[in-house]
Structure 1
Amino acid sequence: MIELFQKLLMLLSGLRPAPTKNEPVLDIEPDPVAMSQEGQKVLKYFESCKLKAYWDADGKAWTVGWGHTGPDVHEGLVITQAQADQLLRQRLSREFVPGVLSAITRSLAQHELDAMVDLAYNIGVGAFQSSTLVRKFNAGDTDGAADEFLRWNRSGGRVLLGLRRRRKADRCLFLGTTAAEAIALGAAVT
């Protein structure tokens, strides 16, 4: 009875009991299922937030908030910061995180998911899913996958400094740096 009470107290306090003699030690972190705040810091730094609709860099789509596009975005649209943040959360949870996770066939760390979601948010889920980056990552070539981020630096056929900076930050985040370090290293690209 005392042993049961001790286990209950440990469970309630968040402590793990020491494994018994024949009990295996399992200290495996579950795969992430959402973009972390660290990942969102990188995304928000490079997307920036505009509360009035504008044409995207390629002049192809009306965009508002944190890079939100779609049939609901039109000329003259103005939203609040709260609406921009909500749109980002919805698109991450409904479209981009599931789109990335559906393409990945092996375990991944939170920082890897964060970097891949930022890339998918910028290039689109379809382009991400069919990328060499995904193929290399799924094959276990993490370093090769990291190098693939740097290839996604073009818009409209032109290499853009902003994309070179973002991809450097994504690569650094993917390899495990903090968001602040990734942003600083990306911003330093000339």
Structure 2
Amino acid sequence: MKKRLEYLGMADFDYLAARLLMIHGLVTVALPKAAEAVEKLMKLFLVLEAKISRNENLTAKDLKGYGHDLERLFAQFKTKVPVTFGGEWDDYVKCLQESYTYRYPEHWTQYRAELDLDKLDFVYVHMRNNIILNFPLEERQRVRHFGTFLYDAYTAEAFDLIGRLGGKNPGEILRLSNQQFALLDIDASRI
């Protein structure tokens, strides 16, 4: 997959959207967006791991086989990572997986929605920090730029407009109530 940096940028912005929605109590739409961010990170990890361990170039078509099955992706992810993930990780991934289903009322029977911003931040920061270690050296500095190419699109005029509308720019959203921010391996001077 040649669009590694783009995948990371999109995951970063899905995460920001999930954070903002969660901060404002919109948990039923925040969790599917969080699931999308985590899914992109896990797929990106599998792409990088395949290249490093087998010199195999996975394609977007290869990744489509996983669909949006976070639990299957996480099971595969855990076989490749040399650390133990506690049961709370499995529970959170299951919660995110269920959130995909609950986007449509036909599937509603009961809904376990977690309004836990700290858990989202912990999972995202932990996964992102470890995944960027697997990027090729020539891309390592770039992946430390949160949002990669997406953040680059923000000009001073865009920040000004966001402020005039009463909003927060991406860097402010990332920092807002984020107890994991200091642990995030990024170039914080760029946001």
TM-score normalised by length of structure 1 = 0.27
Of Structure 1 and Structure 2, which has the larger fraction of its residues in helix? 2
Larger RCO: 1 or 2 (CA < 8 Å, sep 6+): 2
TM-score normalised by length of structure 2 = 0.26
